[in-house]
A and B are shown apart, each in its own frame.
Chain A
Amino acid sequence: MNATLDPKTISPGAQPDAADVRTGAEVLLRVLREQDVEVVFGYPGGAVLPIYDALFKQNSIRHILVRHEQAAVHAAEGYARSTGKTGVVLVTSGPGATNAVTGLVDALMDSIPLICLSGQVPTHLIGNDAFQEADTTGITRPATKHNYLVKRPGDLSRVLHEAFYVARSGRPGPVLVDLPKDIMVGPAPYHPASGAPHRSYRPVSEPAPDAIAQAVEAMRQAKRPLFYTGGGVINAGPEASEALRRLVRMTGFPCTSTLMGLGAYPTTDRQFLGMLGMHGTYEANLATHGCDLLINIGARFDDRVTGRLDAFSPHSTKIHVDIDPSSINKIVRVDMPIVGDAGRALQMMIAAWEGTASADPVAIAAWWKQIDAWRGIDSLRFRQDPSPDAVIKPQHAIRRLYELARETGRDCFVTTEVGQHQMWAAQHFQYEEPNRWMTSGGLGTMGYGLPAAVGVQVGNPDGLVIDIAGEASTLMNIQELGTICQYRLPVKLFILNNRYMGMVRQWQELLHGSRYSESYSEALPDFVKLAEAFHGTGMRATTLGELDDVIRRMLAHDGPVVADICVDETENCFPMIPSGAAHNEMILGPEQNEQAGRITDEGLMLV
């Protein structure tokens, strides 16, 4: 079996010499340095005081003090997703660890490599209901890819090196290491990482050549092929996105992407059909429905993507490249499973394709003709009243944001909260490169975007970092404006303020007889004053005439800005495939031909 072996792995090498015995906290920091950790997002407390003391005495690792432990995890996620490195979080025992749980599950669902270091009560008190004791490994077992409780000083360096290896190997994910206070205070031996393979965890990253050959043969024969790419391509690193671009261009096939995969293939390219799924484009979804070969690279057939399962891409042969064998045949049975790294698989496909062409160029041309007809529906179209005192359409605000941000020529990173604004950001902003789009897809965590933007900005100090937000989500981690101020992070918080939990309001309108139960954002704060209270700059646009000016001022300002963009309160996000419906039962917006999308009773049960 092929194993992903990282030079910086795991089990201890030579015996430590006497000089290598220091406090557990010092050993911890030394391992972090050896693992190239530059920054830790954290919040102190009793159980981690020895670690904070060790941090105080050194200069190579930077600590970013967040204002809530959940935000520490999201910040580390943003950092990891935008830099390709492993994010590191440090929290205290008890409430520090429990506050981190939402972030850990978020990272687990979205395959983000993280290390969460949590303080724990001293080993002799574990199990005694000691002050700020929680069964952290018990609580986080289903919330992490793996977790450890370090009970012996001799295990400390090995466990920490191993945690990094596990977090970034195979399908990446969060790994928690619970650190009892006595282990941090007392002496512990330091072991460097050794290159020895892990005892048991050795995910396969090299695809089987015959599986690739079979897949490429199917691609040659295909008449209506479609690439369906996902977050796994981003996980596989920028080379994988590069290979995807080459392969898509070589083959001339159309390409769609999940929410998590945006940016792997440039969204402005002609061969890109837009996102697929619940709020995907008409052409992407109908192509998924009508294709005869679906080439899934690093996507996991999520229910937001498949809609009604028995009607999902019913006529296609399915290829699925995934590094996690448990993702394959989990939801949709596929014909050609390929276990391995997306980047490697794409490179092997390129090599196998090179020098040949499609068996049937006429069929491919006809397929494109069909796709272009679907494209003609222009499913993302909306109507913005052009008069200066018109109400701003949220889609228009995002399009202007994109255009004006592009004019700055800066490297732009977008994070989002969760809701309609998130979907509009996926549909109307453009992503030319991977690692520029950070969103909470799997867990859909409101409050993700602002702390994630903190992490992105820390990892990319020269980047233009914008959180495209909703007013309700923003309030879930608004305290991070404090972090943003403290570290002078020039994050732009761009709030599409519709005074509603818009996504909830939309479902209530479409599925619950317009009974807007508890979805109005009552008693909203004045976001401009809020920005000022946190020593930032606030701006507001209430009409179309004010929009461009506010965006320009926001982009030109070199400090943090909160832009309160008051948008149409009743706008809905289209297209939409209602839960439980098939891809060809999409509801289009009022601007497109109204197609009656039937919402079944079964759909009401789904989320």
Chain B
Amino acid sequence: MAPVEEAPITAVISVLVENESGVLARVIGLFSGRGYNIESLTVAPVDEARTRSRINIVTTGTSMVIEQIKALLYRLVPVHRVSDLTALGPHLAREMALVKVVSSGELRTEALRISDAFRARAVDTTVGSFVFELTGAPEKIDSFIDLMRPLGLVEVSRTGIAAIIRGPRTI
């Protein structure tokens, strides 16, 4: 059967892994080794004993590629669970950004005003600069950064997303 050229979709995949050395390299190697895309990746231990970590990956590909990625992730020895949040229904995806703006006068006031509207906090302030801290959906952070660009934006640091299913369901 002909492989139908489908449009790529974006998927948010959460992977529960044994917290052992090399596990992140295995996950990343799987993507780089096969030419798959990683748009963002976050990882941290999520249980009390710190023996298990959750990796959240945002990736794009055709549905066949996304299925392949999930099967390949599941095949890794230290992987406990692989969940495609995009396929499981509504979910939340949030990330944090630190945004540095260097400006003065009118521009500086405008930056402060916009940060207020986005509920960003100025976590560091000097006479010539601000560092804003902002949490939210990636699109919200994108638009904040767009607005800051003409107002003296000089540096951005983003965490990548943490994601979770809405409602009582778990992965």
CA distance A504 to B122 in the complex (A): 66
Given contacts A201-B77, A312-B1, 13 further A-B pairs with CB under 8 A are: A142-B29, A145-B77, A146-B77, A147-B22, A170-B75, A200-B17, A200-B79, A201-B78, A324-B75, A326-B72, A328-B71, A329-B67, A329-B68
Q: Tell me the minimal C-beta distance from A340 to chain B in angstroms.
A: 14
Closest residue of chain A to B80, judged by CB? A200
Closest residue of chain B to A334, judged by CB? B1
Q: Is the CB of B2 within 8 A of A309?
A: yes
Q: Is the CB of B18 within 8 A of A325?
A: no
CA distance A137 to B25 in the complex (A): 11
Q: Is the CB of A142 within 8 A of B67?
A: no
CB of B21 closer than 8 Å to a CB of A: yes
Known: A325-B75, A326-B68, A330-B68. A149 touches B21 (CB 8 A): yes
Known: A137-B22, A142-B29, A142-B33. A326 touches B79 (CB 8 A): no
Q: Tell me the minimal C-beta distance from A301 to chain B in angstroms.
A: 11
Size of interface on B: residues with Cβ below 8 Å to A:
23
- Contact partners of A141 in chain B: CB under 8 A: 22, 25-26, 29
CB of B74 closer than 8 Å to a CB of A: yes
Q: Is the CB of A325 within 8 A of B1?
A: no
Q: Is the CB of A200 within 8 A of B78?
A: yes
CA distance A273 to B21 in the complex (A): 49
Closest residue of chain B to A165, judged by CB? B77
6 pairs of A and B residues whose beta carbons are closest in the complex: A326-B71, A310-B2, A146-B77, A325-B71, A201-B77, A200-B80
Residues 126-145 (chain A) with a chain B CB within 8 angstroms = 137-138, 141-142, 145
Interface residues of A (CB under 8 A from B): 137-138, 141-142, 145-147, 149, 166, 170-171, 198-201, 309-310, 312, 314, 318, 324-326, 328-330, 332-333
CA distance A138 to B67 in the complex (A): 26
Closest residue of chain A to B69, judged by CB? A326
CA distance A142 to B29 in the complex (A): 7
CA distance A199 to B79 in the complex (A): 9
CA distance A147 to B22 in the complex (A): 9
- Contact partners of B33 in chain A: CB under 8 A: 142
CA distance A320 to B23 in the complex (A): 30
- Contact partners of B72 in chain A: CB under 8 A: 326
Residues 58-110 (chain B) with a chain A CB within 8 angstroms = 64, 67-68, 71-72, 74-80
CA distance A81 to B100 in the complex (A): 61
Identify 15 residue pairs between A and B in the complex whose beta-carbon atoms are under 8 Å apart, listed by A's number.
A137-B22, A146-B76, A146-B77, A166-B77, A198-B77, A201-B77, A309-B3, A310-B3, A325-B71, A326-B71, A326-B72, A329-B67, A330-B68, A332-B1, A333-B1
Interface residues of B (CB under 8 A from A): 1-3, 17-18, 21-22, 25-26, 29, 33, 64, 67-68, 71-72, 74-80
Q: Is the CB of B18 within 8 A of A199?
A: yes
- Contact partners of B64 in chain A: CB under 8 A: 329, 333
CA distance A482 to B72 in the complex (A): 41
Closest residue of chain A to B21, judged by CB? A149
- Contact partners of B18 in chain A: CB under 8 A: 199-200
CA distance A145 to B76 in the complex (A): 8
CA distance A171 to B74 in the complex (A): 13
CA distance A10 to B33 in the complex (A): 29
CA distance A442 to B163 in the complex (A): 38
CA distance A171 to B25 in the complex (A): 21
Q: Tell me the minimal C-beta distance from B49 to chain A in angstroms.
A: 13
- Contact partners of B75 in chain A: CB under 8 A: 170-171, 324-326
CA distance A309 to B2 in the complex (A): 7
- Contact partners of A333 in chain B: CB under 8 A: 1, 3, 64
